[in-house]
């Protein structure tokens, strides 16, 4: 766990250095801080309060065939979300205005904090789709608004990341990631209705999956 945390502090800046080709890229270093500082604080807190949650977040093997397909397409798209801005910086393709970059960085931080809040509220929020012994339906906090608040925040995070890094082009893989999350949600709901007692009743109470009053 701690090795992964240290690795993130090393590999994320190194990734931007390699793709961007320059230390003169303040947007990338600010972006690293926006993600890594809250993540570090959260991991250290959960290591004391709920180490089993962190262990579940380390599991990557999907049982559902649909989810394996989502991962197969999602991993290269996720890499592209961060790689394209690096290439954009290196070759100077686009240059969003400073105000757009700052707004996007604020959205990155806000959406990431929502993701961490989901983890705080729902200790069963595993990386893979499925249920586990003792799992309960969570209907408080962000789950009182939509059934999949982590995915809603993730879409905002992926779309804003490119602009926060100083690139318009990186929004394209971010936009392509959203349909994958919709596929993931549909299959995940099928699994939860089938395996998690009380989830069908929760769906009737909280009607919207991602966006209140829309979907």
Residue ranges of domains in the chain: 2-205
Q: For position 3, what pLDDT does the model report?
A: 77
Q: How far is CA 107 from CA 35, 80, 193, 214, in A?
A: 12, 19, 32, 21
The dihedral through the CA atoms of 146, 149, 152, 153 has a sign that is positive
Query: Has domain 2-205 been given CATH number 1.10.40.30?
Result: no
- DSSP per-residue letters across 161-180: HHHHTT-STTHHHHHHHHHH
Q: CA 158 to CA 112: how far, in whole Å?
A: 10
Residue 197 DSSP label: T
* Count of CA atoms in the C-beta half-sphere (13 A) of 211: 6
**Arithmetic mean of pLDDT, 149-164:** 95
Q: Count of alpha carbons within 13 Å of 176, Cβ hemisphere only? A: 15
pLDDT digits (tens, 9 = 90+) for 31-82: 999 999 999 999 999 888 888 887 777 777 888 888 899 889 989 999 999 9
pLDDT band at 13 (very low <50, low <70, confident <90, very high): very high
Give the DSSP per-residue string, 118-162: HHHH-TT--SSS---TT-----SGGGGT-S-HHHHHHHHHHHHHH
Q: Would you state the pLDDT for residue 1?
A: 64
Q: What is the mean pLDDT of residues 16-24?
A: 95
């Amino acid at each position: 766990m701690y090795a992964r945390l240290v690795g993130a502090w090393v590999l994320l800046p190194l990734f931007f250095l390699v793709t961007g080709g320059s230390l003169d890229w303040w947007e990338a270093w600010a972006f690293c801080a926006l993600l890594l500082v809250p993540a570090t604080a959260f991991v250290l807190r959960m290591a004391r309060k709920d180490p089993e949650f962190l262990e579940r977040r380390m599991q990557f093997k999907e049982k559902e065939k649909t989810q394996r397909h989502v991962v197969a397409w999602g991993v290269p798209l996720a890499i592209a979300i961060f790689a394209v801005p690096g290439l954009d910086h290196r070759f100077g393709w686009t240059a969003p205005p400073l105000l757009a970059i700052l707004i996007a960085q604020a959205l990155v931080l806000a959406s990431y904090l929502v993701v961490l809040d989901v983890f705080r509220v729902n200790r069963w929020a595993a990386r893979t789709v499925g249920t586990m012994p003792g799992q309960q339906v969570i209907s408080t906090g962000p789950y009182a608004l939509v059934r999949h608040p982590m995915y809603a925040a993730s879409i905002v995070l992926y779309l804003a990341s490119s602009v926060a890094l100083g690139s318009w082009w990186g929004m394209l893989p971010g936009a392509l990631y959203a349909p994958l999350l919709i596929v993931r949600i549909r299959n995940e709901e099928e699994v939860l209705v089938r395996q998690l007692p009380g989830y069908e009743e929760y769906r009737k109470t909280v009607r919207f999956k991602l966006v209140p009053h829309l979907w």
